[in-house]
């Protein structure tokens, strides 16, 4: 932990030194009356290409290119640096041209989705460990199906015993849809347990009207409700961790295309634009 | 309907001499003849049980094997199941240990070759889409590599030109009346030398179960003395000097230590049974399953140095015992007590208890000699520096005793490359599995799922055990320890799919898979038409340039490999 703190401090100091250097370099360069946008733009494009290279490092994991942890730290570092360069490049105001505005929006989304992903990757693992069995994402539907089958068997057994239809009625009214698939995803992401509490309350309310055997069945169903809820929780949070990349990565490639087009345009009209 | 009934199989239903490769069946007359000559004539047969007489042990657990010129009898690095006694002829023991020793290719091993840069990159598109693809030529044995021939009903690897090998490599000659291979067979270690036949030779091979029983019941202790003397003479001094305590010893003192050291053995030797029992019932340990080496409160007679196996250190805690550390081969117990005793008037009893996990071999160095070493060190100028403990020597401890206890109970402490995932950091991105698949022709060699101890998950991946019981019964030596790194790998060319390794592995880290050709069709046995299977497991990306791909692919530093024998590393990674 102490070593981690030292690493964080070291990274932060390096970042601050670099920011100061960039700002003073820009100021000194502006004294020559040259356009600083060329310099900041070139640096920004380089940063964006370096950031995109992380995706390729992931594909070449079998080569001795340094470990992915170091690459990710560098990726985050360069990401923050690119934000400073971006703000300098746009002169701290929203551009008004159509392409420039699209570029501004794309960069902003890429940057914000990156920051969000970084935060999620720090927060969600702790939460995943706090509830339920650690199930591989692709196998969650199989586990859910097993739970559903268990509950359906309990319900059909209760019908066979000819002691009434209370359990079956409750299942059809409140649980059939619940066990049919992933539910309460937004609530899980927001860490709300309200739905679980409500279901548990309904089970408790019913218990007073059941005989001993039916009560036992309901207790077993309640256990399965809990298991299913934990599984949904795992799926919801793991989905978030997986799918933010589906926003971040395609937007990055879009950004690179826009940025290259922007660079070509700027270079082409450099002489006329002064 | 009646149940099918068969008589219960017994130990000697199939004598060793009836297994493939034996020269001839062991007859009563042959055994009598053996018993007339040393060292068997020196064994006291009266101590043996009536149900387990010496005569029957030799008849059923021993066999006579013949070798032709150049036949390799044992290979350096292979797992030892048996010991050999030279009956006639001469064998040669290779004495070299480094690069100048016999190369892997002529010993029939797969050549460990790291892929070139181009081959590594080409994996991105050259990997097969079908699972578990093998080259048919390799599986069918029609590819060229091994120098094998049929010798007396058994396929053997041989050296083509013995005279050239003798000229090039340093060897020693063993003639009739000599034993070899007994230390590896009984110490659960790999063979330390390659032995091949010089001319025609005849050997008596005894499987370790037989040697074990002779050692147990021989009242005169002739064979035991022989084996202990052999270890004392050949390896003890070098073993002791692996610890800094003995490194500064004078030759005279070391000789006295070698002469006075006691050998100790604890626990059940039988195959993987103790480990499997521990894994199936982690609660059952300590008092019931683990023999005590030194009790808490007992004055140590000397220091215990572990030769093979693992030992648990515990302390009384209310009505039970609390695990506070463990020892692995080369580590020492009892030194602190003896060191403290030197400066005090009365001997200091042990503050902790030491017990054996599974099977354990240890040496006991008498306290007087240890005191002499310590006093010598104290009088020398740099004594204080010498007495410092190296990280490898320290007892492995973790601050979280519950976690430590679980790691020992589940036997994960066996791992020299245990895969651990810190779930507090793991984002379940599966980059590790993808990297593993890319490095293994699109077949991941581990499953990212397993028991969770605190926040640490131990996935289903090979641990590369310090005592790899998976290797014990492999009939072809296809699963072996890589001599360079010590990793345990499987040679696809010689794996016959018998599944012995998979069933022996206590961690279910070896999987049997149906193999396919490049077009995706299952490769089947030409006679039975049944699909051929082979064992697969993590090989730590032995042929990849970047080392284990899983570890380097993890962007969140969540997946790490840990050598559980390395005290400093264990402490560091589990304290994060």
- For testing the chain A interface, which of B428, B429, B439 should be mutated: the one with the most A CBs within 10 Å? B428
Closest residue in B to A133 (Cα–Cα)? B452
- Cβ of residue B170 closer than 8 Å to a chain A Cβ: no
Alpha-carbon distance of B213 to B262, in angstroms, equals 20
Q: Quick one: A123 and A192 in the same domain?
A: no
CB contact under 8 A, A68 and B431: yes
- Residue B206: strand, helix, or coil: strand
ipTM of the complex: 0.87
B271, B504 Cβ separation under 8 angstroms? yes
User: pLDDT value at position B493?
Assistant: 78
In the predicted model, is pLDDT for residue B484 greater than 90?
A: no
Percent pLDDT > 70 in chain B is: 84
Structure tokens at B25: 């069946």
pLDDT at residue B498 is higher than 80? yes
Of B371, B457, B356, B448, which is closest to residue B408 (Cα–Cα)?
B356
| CATH number, domain B11-102+169-217, options 2.40.50.180, 2.60.120.10, 3.90.1010.10, 2.40.50.140 | 2.60.120.10
Residue A223 vs residues A163, A203, A217, B166: alpha-carbon distances, Å: 22, 11, 10, 73
Distance CA B543, CA A62 (A): 10
CB contact under 8 A, A62 and B120: yes
Instruction: Give the mean pLDDT of chain A.
Output: 90
Q: Helix (H, G, I), strand (E, B), or coil: what is residue B233?
A: helix
CB contact under 8 A, B448 and A65: no
Looking at residue B284, its pLDDT comes to 46
Is the residue at A31 inside a domain? no
Whether the CA torsion B74, B75, B76, B78 is positive or negative: it is negative
Task: Please state the φ and ψ torsions of residue B44, each to the nearest 5 degrees.
Answer: -85, 105
Chain A residue with CA closest to B574: the answer is A1
Distance (Å, rounded) from C-alpha A76 to C-alpha A38? Answer: 24
| B572 contacts chain A (CB < 8 A) | no
Contacts of A65 in chain B (CB under 8 A): 546
Residue A9 burial class via C-beta count within 10 angstroms: exposed 0-12, middle 13-18, buried 19 and up:
exposed
Chain A residue with CA closest to B542: the answer is: A62
Considering the domain architecture, whether residues A53 and A147 belong to the same structural domain is answered as no
Are residues A128 and A60 located together in one domain of the fold?
yes
Residue B508: pLDDT over 50: yes
pLDDT digit string, tens, across residues B45-81: 888 888 888 899 999 889 888 888 888 888 887 777 7
Domain assignment present for residue A14? The answer is yes
- Given a contact cutoff of 8 angstroms between Cβ atoms, the answer to whether B230 and B236 are in contact is no
Q: Which residues of A touch B (CB under 8 A)?
A: 1, 58-69, 71-72, 120-121, 124-126, 128-129, 134-137, 238, 241-242
Based on C-alpha coordinates, what's the Rg of chain B? Answer: 25
Instruction: Give 3-state DSSP helix, strand, coil % of chain A, rounded to 5.
Output: 85, 0, 15
Q: What φ, ψ does residue B359 adopt, rounded to 5°?
A: -100, 135
Q: How far off is chain B from A12, nearest CA to CA, in Å?
A: 19
Residues B168-172: contacts with CB within 8 Å, 24+ apart?
B169/B94, B169/B95, B169/B96, B169/B100, B169/B101, B169/B102, B170/B94, B170/B95, B170/B96, B171/B92, B171/B93, B171/B94, B171/B95, B172/B92, B172/B93, B172/B95
Query: What are the structure tokens assigned to A145, written together?
Result: 């199906």
Q: How far is CA B49 from CA B43, B45, B206, B399, B408, in A?
A: 14, 9, 19, 48, 36
Whether B13 has a pLDDT exceeding 80, the answer reads no
Residues A113 and A201 in one domain: no
Q: Which residues pair with B202 in a beta bridge?
A: B66, B88
B122–chain A Cβ distance below 8 A for any pair: no
Would you call A62 and B439 a contact, using CB atoms and an 8 Å cutoff? yes
Confidence of residue B207 (pLDDT cuts 50, 70, 90): confident
Residue B424: which of A63, A64, A126 has the nearest Cβ? A126
Which phi and psi (to 5°) does residue B305 adopt? -115, 125
Counting Cα atoms < 13 Å in the Cβ hemisphere of A228 gives 28
Contact B546/A136, CB-based, under 8 Å?
A: no
CB A63 within 8 A of CB B545: yes
A116 in a structural domain: yes
Proportion of chain B above pLDDT 90, given as a percent: 29
Domain containing residue A109: 2-26+36-132+244-273
CB B505 within 8 A of CB B446: no
What is the C-alpha to C-alpha distance for residues B93 and B83, in angstroms, rounded to an integer?
A: 14
Phi, psi at residue A10, to the nearest 5°? Answer: -65, -45
Residue B416 has pLDDT above 80, yes or no: yes
CA distance B465 to chain A (A): 24
Q: Which one of B427, B437, B446, B449 would you mutate to disrupt binding with A, by most A Cβ within 10 Å of its Cβ?
A: B427
pLDDT for residue B382: 55
State mean pLDDT over B247-262. 90
Domain co-membership, A170 together with A268: no
Give the list of residues 6+ apart from residue B62 with CB closer than 8 angstroms, or none. Answer: B16, B17, B26, B34, B204, B205, B206, B207, B210
Which chain B residues touch A238 with a CB distance below 8 Å?
Answer: 428
Handedness of CA B505, B506, B507, B511 (dihedral sign): positive
Q: Nearest residue of A to residue B559 by CA position?
A: A69
A97: in domain: yes
Judge whether residue B232 has pLDDT over 50: yes
Is B195:B106 a contact under the CB 8 Å cutoff? no
Residue B21, sorted as left (phi over 0), alpha (psi -120 to 50) or beta, turns out to be left
Question: Do B449 and A136 count as a contact with CB atoms less than 8 A apart?
Answer: yes
Q: What is the pLDDT of residues B147-201, one digit of tens each?
A: 666 666 666 777 777 788 788 888 888 888 888 888 887 766 778 888 999 889 9
Q: Collapsing DSSP states into helix, strand and coil, what is residue A229?
A: helix
Quickly count: other Cβ atoms within 10 Å of residue A55's Cβ: 14
Would you kindly state where each structural domain of chain B is located, as residue ranges?
Answer: 11-102+169-217, 244-392, 412-573
Q: Do B428 and A137 touch (CB under 8 A)?
A: yes
pLDDT at site A27: 86
- The answer on A221 and A248 residing in a single domain is no
CA distances from B60 to B21, B53, B67 (A): 15, 11, 21
Residues A168 and A221 in one domain: yes
- Has residue B2 got a pLDDT over 50? no
Contact state of A62 with B435 under an 8 Å Cβ cutoff: yes
Number of domains within chain A: 2
CB contact under 8 A, B427 and A121: yes
* Three-class SS state of A205: helix
What tokens were used for B134? Answer: 């093998």
A72–B555 CB contact, under 8 Å: yes
Q: Quickly name the fold that domain B412-573 has.
A: Alpha-Beta Plaits (3.30.70)
Res B141 pLDDT > 60: no
A121/B556 touch (CB, cutoff 8 Å), yes or no: yes
B120 touches A: beta carbon within 8 Å = yes
pLDDT digits (tens, 9 = 90+) for B536-549: 999 999 888 888 99
pLDDT tens-digit profile, chain A (274 residues): 677 788 888 888 998 999 899 888 888 887 876 777 888 899 999 999 999 999 888 888 778 888 899 999 999 999 999 999 999 999 888 988 888 999 999 999 999 999 999 999 999 999 999 888 889 999 999 999 999 999 999 999 888 876 778 999 999 999 999 999 999 999 999 989 999 999 999 999 998 888 888 999 999 999 999 999 999 999 999 999 999 999 999 999 999 999 999 999 888 887 654 4
Residue to substitute from A54, A68, A73, A242, interface B, most B β-carbons within 10 A? A68
Q: Distance from A181 to chain B by nearest Cα, in Å?
A: 21
- Contacts of residue A1 in chain B, CB cutoff 8 Å? 576
- Together in a domain, A51 and A109: yes
Q: Which of B423, B431, B576 sits opposite A58 (nearest CB)?
A: B431
What strands lie across the sheet with B452-453, from one edge to the other? Answer: B452-453, B456-457, B418-422, B559-562
What's the confidence (pLDDT) of residue B38? 80
Domain B244-392 has CATH 3.50.50.60: no
Give the minimum alpha-carbon distance from B552 to chain A in angstroms, rounded to a whole number: 4
Q: Is the pLDDT of residue B270 over 70?
A: no
pLDDT at position B118 over 80: yes
| Domains B11-102+169-217 and B412-573 belong to one CATH topology | no
Q: What mean pLDDT is predicted for residues B403-420?
A: 92
Domain assignment present for A163: yes
Burial of B1 (0-12, 13-18, 19+ CB in 10 A): exposed
**Which pLDDT score is estimated for B366?**
93
Whether residue A181 sits in one domain with residue A147: yes
What's the whole-number mean pLDDT along residues B291-306?
Answer: 92
Shortest CA gap A237–chain B (Å): 10
A100 shares a domain with A17? yes
Interface test with A, best of B447, B540, B543, B553 (most A CBs within 10 A): B553
Q: What CA–CA distances, in Å, run from B544 to A51, A69, B432, B434, B549?
A: 26, 19, 15, 15, 8
Smallest Cα distance from B434 to chain A, Å: 9
Give yes or no: residues A126 and A11 share one domain.
Answer: yes
Residues from chain B that touch A246, judged by Cβ atoms under 8 A, are none
Does A88 share its domain with A187?
A: no
Measured CA to CA in angstroms, residue B146 lies from B84, B158, B194 at distances of: 24, 9, 16
Token pair in block for residue B404:
């430590």
Q: Does residue A71 form part of some domain?
A: yes
- Residue B95 pLDDT > 80, yes or no? no
């Amino acid at each position: 932990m102490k070593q981690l703190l030292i690493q964080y401090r070291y990274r932060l100091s390096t970042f601050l030194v670099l920011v100061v250097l960039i700002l003073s370099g820009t100021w000194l360069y502006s004294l020559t009356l040259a356009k600083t946008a060329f310099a900041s733009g070139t640096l920004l494009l380089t940063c964006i290409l370096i950031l995109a290279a992380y995706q390729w490092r992931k594909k070449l994991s079998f080569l001795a290119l340094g470990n992915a942890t170091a690459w990710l730290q560098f990726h985050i570092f360069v990401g923050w640096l690119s934000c400073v360069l971006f703000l300098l490049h746009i002169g701290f105001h929203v551009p008004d041209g159509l392409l420039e505005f699209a570029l501004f929006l794309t960069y902003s989304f890429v940057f914000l989705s990156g920051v969000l992903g970084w935060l999620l990757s720090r927060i969600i693992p702790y939460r995943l460990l706090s509830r339920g069995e650690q199930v591989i994402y692709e196998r969650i539907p199989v586990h859910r199906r097993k739970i559903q089958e268990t509950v359906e068997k309990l319900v059909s057994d209760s019908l066979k015993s000819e002691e009434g239809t209370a359990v079956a009625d409750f299942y059809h009214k409140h649980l059939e849809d619940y066990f049919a698939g992933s539910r309460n995803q937004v609530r899980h992401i927001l860490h709300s347990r309200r739905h679980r509490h409500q279901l548990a309350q309904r089970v408790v309310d019913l218990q007073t009207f059941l005989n001993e055997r039916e009560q036992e069945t309901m207790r077993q169903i309640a256990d399965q409700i809990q298991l299913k809820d934990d599984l949904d929780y795992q799926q919801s949070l793991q989905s978030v961790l997986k799918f933010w990349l589906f926003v971040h990565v395609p937007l990055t490639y879009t950004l690179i295309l826009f940025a290259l087009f922007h660079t070509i345009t700027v270079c082409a009209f450099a002489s006329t634009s002064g | 309907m009646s149940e099918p009934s068969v008589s219960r199989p017994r130990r000697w239903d199939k004598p060793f001499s009836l297994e493939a490769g034996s020269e001839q069946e062991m007859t009563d007359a042959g055994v009598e003849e053996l018993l007339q000559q040393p060292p068997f004539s020196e064994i006291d047969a009266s101590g043996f049980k009536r149900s387990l007489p010496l005569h029957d042990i030799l008849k059923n657990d021993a066999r006579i094997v013949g070798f032709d010129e150049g036949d390799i009898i044992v290979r350096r690095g292979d797992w030892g199941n048996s010991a050999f006694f030279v009956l006639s002829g001469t064998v040669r023991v290779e004495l070299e240990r480094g690069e100048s020793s016999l190369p892997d290719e002529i010993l029939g091993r797969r050549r460990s070759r790291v892929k070139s840069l181009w081959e590594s990159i080409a994996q991105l598109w050259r990997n097969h889409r079908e699972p578990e693809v093998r080259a048919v030529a390799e599986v069918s044995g029609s590819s060229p590599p091994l120098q094998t021939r049929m010798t007396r009903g058994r396929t053997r690897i041989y050296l083509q030109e013995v005279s050239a090998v003798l000229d090039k490599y340093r060897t020693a000659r063993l003639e009739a009346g000599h034993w070899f291979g007994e230390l590896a067979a009984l110490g659960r270690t790999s063979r330390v030398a390659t032995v091949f036949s010089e001319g025609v030779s005849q050997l008596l091979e005894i499987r370790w179960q037989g040697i074990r029983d002779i050692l147990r019941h021989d009242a005169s202790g002739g064979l035991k003395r022989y084996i202990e003397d052999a270890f004392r003479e050949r390896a003890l001094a070098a073993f002791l000097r692996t610890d800094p305590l003995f490194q500064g010893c004078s030759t005279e003192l070391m000789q006295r230590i070698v002469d006075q050291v006691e050998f100790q053995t604890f626990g059940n030797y039988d195959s993987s049974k103790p480990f499997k029992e521990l894994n199936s019932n982690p609660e059952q340990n300590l008092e019931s399953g683990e023999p005590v080496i030194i009790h808490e409160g007992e004055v140590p007679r000397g220091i215990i140095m572990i030769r093979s196996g693992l030992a648990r250190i515990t302390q009384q805690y209310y009505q039970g015992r609390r695990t506070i550390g463990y020892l692995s081969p080369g580590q020492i117990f009892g030194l602190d007590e003896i060191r403290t005793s030197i400066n005090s008037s009365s001997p200091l009893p042990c503050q902790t208890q030491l017990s054996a996990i599974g099977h354990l071999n240890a040496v006991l160095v008498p306290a007087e000699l240890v005191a002499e070493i310590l006093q010598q060190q104290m009088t020398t100028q740099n004594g204080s520096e010498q007495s410092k403990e190296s990280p490898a020597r320290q007892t492995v401890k973790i601050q979280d005793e519950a976690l430590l206890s679980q790691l020992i109970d589940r036997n994960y402490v066996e791992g020299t490359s245990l895969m651990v995932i810190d779930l507090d950091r793991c984002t379940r991105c599966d980059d590790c599995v993808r990297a593993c698949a890319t490095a293994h022709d699109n077949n991941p060699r581990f499953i990212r799922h397993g028991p969770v101890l605190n926040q640490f998950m131990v996935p289903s991946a090979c641990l590369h055990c310090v005592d790899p019981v998976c290797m014990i019964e492999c009939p072809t030596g296809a699963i072996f320890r890589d001599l360079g790194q010590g990793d345990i790998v499987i040679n696809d060319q010689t794996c016959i799919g018998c599944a012995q390794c998979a069933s022996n592995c206590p961690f279910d880290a070896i999987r049997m898979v149906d193999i396919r050709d490049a077009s995706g069709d299952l490769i089947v046995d030409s006679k039975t038409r049944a699909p051929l299977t082979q064992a697969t497991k993590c090989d730590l990306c032995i042929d990849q340039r970047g080392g284990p791909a899983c570890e380097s692919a993890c962007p969140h530093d969540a997946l790490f490999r840990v050598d559980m024998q390395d005290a400093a590393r264990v402490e560091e990674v589990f304290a994060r």
